[in-house]
Amino acid sequence: MSGWTQAGFEVFGQHVLWIDLVGNIGALATVWLAIRRTIWTWPVQFASSILLLAASLQAHITGNALKQAMFAALAVYGWVRWVRGTRGGEALAVRPGTLRERLTLIAVMVAATGLVAWFFMATGWSWAPWPDAYIFVGSAIATYAQGRALIDFWWIWVAVDLVGVPLAYWSGLYVSAVVYGVFFVMVLLGVREWRRQYAGRSLEVATA
């Protein structure tokens, strides 16, 4: 890719891509909007995913590029789910996953990570197949759980961020590396806020 996908500026001797910077600003906005449980979470996620898709292709991180394409598709899914969950002006009802849901998510994550890593190794699409596969699958599961308004999706993001920071840095996406670190802090805030919202709603139901 060339032209606008390579446009950027120099910071401390490193070339920062505009698409990486703007896409990650949008990704940060997505997390902030998710904490607030607003429907705008999803269109912002869709737009930022397109920009980060271009940045990932530019850096030759195929797994991350596929992840961004998946984010764009899941943004549509989440948008539909949240629209249904907020009909009539109701606030989005969040909840923790059941034991069965949690075990299913973990099992899918382990199995799918192995399959995707094997695929990346077989095709040579990624220079870091295992972490790339882990981030790809973990991001998919986290976004799916977010669409279902499960509090657990925040914890999945914690696990993804712990691998995403070093991988982005080693791949030359320095803005992405910094943003992953900021994500980690925001995710912890998101867990606290969604748990507070769930506790408050449960109290209202109990005293109704």
132-190, pLDDT tens digit by residue? 889 889 989 999 999 999 999 999 998 988 887 777 777 777 767 787 788 888 998 99
Please determine, for residue 9, whether its predicted confidence score (pLDDT) is greater than 70: no
**Alpha carbon distance 187, 193 (integer Å):** 10
Mean pLDDT of 80-109: 89
**pLDDT of residue 13 exceeding 90:** no
Q: Which amino acid is at 3?
A: G
CB 63 within 8 A of CB 136: yes
Confidence class of residue 1 from pLDDT cuts 50, 70 and 90? very low
The pair of structure tokens assigned to 74 is 């899941």
* CA atoms within 13 A of residue 84's CA, in its CB half-sphere: 9
Model pLDDT, residue 150: 95
Per-residue buried b or exposed e for 9-29, using 16+ beta carbons within 10 Å of the residue's own CB: eeeeeeeebbbbbbbbebbbb
Conformational region of residue 89, where left means phi above 0, alpha means psi within -120 to 50, and beta covers everything else:
left
Strand partners, 16: 9
**pLDDT at site 10:** 66
| Local confidence band at 2 (pLDDT 50, 70, 90 cut-offs) | low
CA 133 to chain centre: 14
CB of 149 closer than 8 Å to CB of 81: yes
Report whether 150 contacts 95 (CB < 8 A). yes
Please report how the helices 153-170 and 129-147 are oriented relative to each other, as an axis angle in degrees rounded to 10: 150
